[in-house]
A and B are shown apart, each in its own frame.
Chain A
């Protein structure tokens, strides 16, 4: 389970600005919008990058799947549900 967690936090760290030093300092249960300031569009940029690297088809997820994303943990859960495909 560490691998998807690292993947998500690494991408989140990359898309944040200088105030966050690295993925170590990120809260796995932090609110993506409230705590990390992601807008709806920047959240989708993050998800797109993660899915690209993980070779998961983003369009396989439903609108509800995407609407439920609040924290990095939620993203990992969504990725893990992706048709049983390994990350």
Chain B
């Protein structure tokens, strides 16, 4: 397998393909060749600041050109990039010491009292600091072995306390080449990236652009919809919440335009037009992963003429499976990429073995954390319940954590119930709880306050009619605000933080049970 990373650090990319950055305050566009040359100047700058092979360079910033330059520059000099999620971490001396960083570049003010720590660098000043430095000359000599680590990623963790994980070059190469084998990204493609670059997988698509010569757009979620309409990408790297938001907005607009009396065919045609207006008419496919996708949403985009492919992976495994053109089984998350191998343990939990594992242990974690995930042979115990069909397609049934054990001792997998709840037009987000309780209760976010209560009650009553005894919803709590990253109730990949939501609405949940007693 030719190393993508080795190609990125040593080969000269295309001057005919570009990378464009949209962020609040402006945008910039440069050719991949210009990006590469600029990154090698940043490499020289890092060397001048004393950064060498093995040193860790921290980055706390929203997506921007300088983020990518630092990451590529670190690759070039065999330093280790450490992407920390903006907004979640504050730039501080304590953080630098805790994670053993040589330098930390940030777009936010340093923590109080740490302003004089010269290890903390203002990322806004990076380009000005280059002066007339020439490009780092040593690129041709740089070569990585598959087992070398090049970056540290931080898992979001269901408790909100991140664990660090160093990723091997082999695992990155395997993910990018495996994806390339399925989707053949090439010169006519423009990939769209808006999730945080601190998530390593988002940087794959920049490495892919440099290795396989295609365009790439990098933005933040704030400007994602704005940039989509202007850039007309061929591929959007998204998550279910992003596509759901688009679907709901388009459906609401179409419903208002058509009224109730319109024919289904007319509505479908209007939806299709609206979808192309929103996302552009060059879409080759949409990528979704990181969280379970609602099958109705996937069908909706497919019906609009935009193929959408669900996949599966986690920080500890990189990309494991992916549906793809010609190998797409709705409801599944696809078949394993080349070099990844899946099986189920006795409890139905998905086990992933990789020809090149991401790693075999966490760097910073409580005793026992590594052993809970990484098995002695290097396989990863994912904690996801799965099923593998006769053709090797993987179906994720839920997190082992998504199992609610009721008072009667029965296990209830709540994810499918949450999906049925979310089908209600008045429910924006939901979470089902009930551990140790006599029945399930739902915590619901709605855009219509108390006014939505009758619609929701009716929807739940209809669900309960066909549900098994333990799967019925006994009551619900209306959350006064949506689950969001800002309030700590969603991960950066838009997954609800189950424990945080249960803790926040603990009183209302208890009152709901008391009212039922």
Contacts and interface: CB of A to CB of B under 8 A. Distances in A.
Please report whether the interface of chain A is mostly helix, strand, loop or mixed according to DSSP: helix
A21 to B, nearest CB: 11
Interface in A24-64: 33-42, 44-46, 48, 51-52, 58-63
B253 A14 contact: yes
Contacts of A61: 24-25
B447 interface: yes
A7 interface: no
A58 B221 CA distance: 12
B24 A16 contact: no
Interface string B353-391: 000000000000000000000000000000000000000
Interface residues of B, number: 44
B221 to A, nearest CB: 6
Interface in B441-496: 445-449, 451-452, 455, 480-486, 494
Nearest to B494: A41
A51 B225 CA distance: 11
B245 interface: yes
A61 B22 CA distance: 12
A31 B480 CA distance: 11
A37 B221 contact: no
Contact of B62 (A18, A59, A63): A63
A12 to B, nearest CB: 10
B241 interface: yes
Interface string A4-29: 00000000001111111000000000
A13 B224 CA distance: 22
Contact of B446 (A37, A45, A62): A37
B249 A52 contact: no
A71 to B, nearest CB: 14
A45 B249 contact: yes
A17 B225 CA distance: 20
A24 B292 CA distance: 38
A41 B451 contact: no
B22 A59 contact: yes
A18 B452 CA distance: 10
Contacts of A58: 223, 226
B291 interface: no
Contact of B449 (A35, A46, A62): A35
Contact of B252 (A15, A39, A52, A62): A15
A42 B223 CA distance: 12
B27 interface: yes
A18 B485 contact: no
- Which of A15, A37, A38, A62 lies at the interface centre, i.e. has the most chain B CB atoms within 10 A of its CB? A37
Contacts of B425: 17-18
B231 to A, nearest CB: 12
A40 to B, nearest CB: 5
14 contacts: A14-B256, A15-B252, A17-B448, A19-B451, A34-B481, A38-B447, A39-B245, A40-B221, A41-B245, A44-B226, A45-B246, A59-B24, A59-B25, A61-B25
